[in-house]
Amino acid sequence: MPATPSGPPASAQPATPGTPATPAPIEPAPIEPPPPARTRRRAPRALSLPLACVPGLAVVLGLVLCVSGVERAVDAGRAGGAASARPGVVSRGALRPHIVPRSVWAVGGEENSTARTPPPPSYDDKVLAVFVHHTDSPNDYDCADSPRIIRYLAAGQTGARNWDDIGYNFLVDRCGTIYEGRAGGIDRPVTGAHTLGFNHRTAGIAALGTFTAGVAVPRAMTDAIAALVAWKLGLAGVDPRSTVRLTSSNSLSRYADGTTAALPALAAHGDAYMTTCPGAALRAMLPEIRQRAARLQGRT
């Protein structure tokens, strides 16, 4: 979930496959306040209330929980420090899955809202790792209602939290539908705002729902995540089963500012930030998702 990068963009190089030991969940550290967003009309007042206290808006409970570790992406002052990836990497040809454009969920927002008129995006040179999140919202939604749920998530982040845009690059619902999140272009390496200290050269995928221990994770959802990961990492030739080296840009993450960390190319939010996100059930599915994504890239 999003917050403000304050350091050189994450540097990453694909390395040997492997997954670091799962860190013990600890209480999230406070979020550093994001830099002022551009002037715009604020989200409706109702969305600025403590959302967990409004039963009718239960779908946005995740704004208070899982997103406590995300960071606002724009870090113009230090973005030039991204470490280089291995030269000459050949793209792996996983097909791009169907991705519903942002306009589908943004169209119901206010005319001058950030959802409809997002600020100019920031870009990295490529995406070398993906972080998986959950939104900590109810699981029993109708998939036809997913655009409205995403619109509420975006309104809460850009309204109550005053971020410049929704933090996740993509969102996946329980039926396996993939939605474009943060503005800037589905095919481009848009700098997200999803994982404190590790937003550069990474993408954030949010699973709509709550996937704590004992909760069933829909197969359609994990299949969609695998397809999305295979395609997105394949653009940079990254094996989803590999380990990458990322440099933290914020000491409120699990790693001090400037520290290089070995993390999975397909990682849980909790691998980089002190949180249990994306929930024990979804985290437990990541090894299988990595293998599925690698097969979609044509790897054995």
Rounded distance between C-alpha atoms, residue 37 and residue 35, angstroms? 6
* Contact call for residues 175 and 218 (beta carbons, < 8 A): yes
Q: Is the pLDDT of residue 222 over 90?
A: yes
pLDDT at 162: 78
Nearest one of 167, 173, 168 to 208, comparing CA atoms:
173
Kindly indicate the confidence band of residue 117, based on its pLDDT and cuts at 50, 70 and 90: confident
pLDDT at 288: 98
Give the E-state strand segments of 147-270 in sequence order: 170-172, 178-180, 202-207, 242-247, 260-264, 266-268
Which range (51-55, 169-173, 283-287) has the least confidence?
A: 51-55
- Taking residues 217-244, report their average pLDDT: 98
User: What number of residues does the chain have?
Assistant: 300
User: Where is 270: in which H helix or E strand?
Assistant: helix 269-272
Fold classification of 46-75+91-296 (topology level): Lysozyme-like (3.40.80)
pLDDT at 157: 87
Full-model pTM: 0.73
pLDDT at 93: 76
Query: How do beta strands 202-207 and 178-180 pair?
Result: unpaired
pLDDT at 73: 37
The residue that leads in pLDDT, 172 or 8, is 172
Backbone Cα Rg of the chain: 17
| Domain ranges for the chain | 46-75+91-296
Q: Is the pLDDT of residue 139 over 50?
A: yes
